[in-house]
Amino acid sequence: MTIDEYFATGPPHERPVFDAVMQHVTTLGPVHAEFVSVGVFLKNPRKFAELRPMLRWVAVSFSLRRTARHPTISRKVVPYGSRYHHVANVADPGDLDDDLLALLTEAYEAAS
């Protein structure tokens, strides 16, 4: 699925969040965005984040080697093996503050 095909059917708040996430993570190194029916998988080469559209926000999920806290992480952090799965509810690009972007950086580096 192409980027245009994917965003042609998504909610209007999804593309600005995707663009803001991509603007940050592409500064870290190579990133491959895989567009699938349930959302966007970000890889470098392993998957380090998922963006899944919800009714009023984008669920940005990522795994870390520790538990992290952020105001947008509203779901319970779930342990998965030696990692912890986090989900941040991002309604618009303004929710992607420096602290949340640092968590995405950490997830990117852990997947490298």
Residue-level pLDDT at 27: 97
Q: Compute the distance between CA of residue 11 and CA of residue 58 in angstroms, rounded to an integer.
A: 10
- pLDDT of 110 strictly over 90: yes
In this prediction, residues 53-71 reach a mean pLDDT of 97
Inter-residue contact 33 to 3 (CB < 8 Å): yes
| Segment among 8-12, 54-58, 104-108 with least mean pLDDT | 8-12
- What is the Cα gyration radius of the chain? 13
**Domain locations in the chain as residue ranges:** 3-111
65-92: average pLDDT: 95
pLDDT at 1: 82
Give the integer Cα–Cα distance in Å for 41 and 12.
Answer: 19
Measured from the Cβ of residue 57, the count of other Cβ atoms closer than 10 Å reads 20
| Residue 112 pLDDT exceeds 90 | no
Spatial separation of the C-alpha atoms in residues 8 and 81, rounded to whole Å? 37
Q: What is the pTM of this model?
A: 0.94
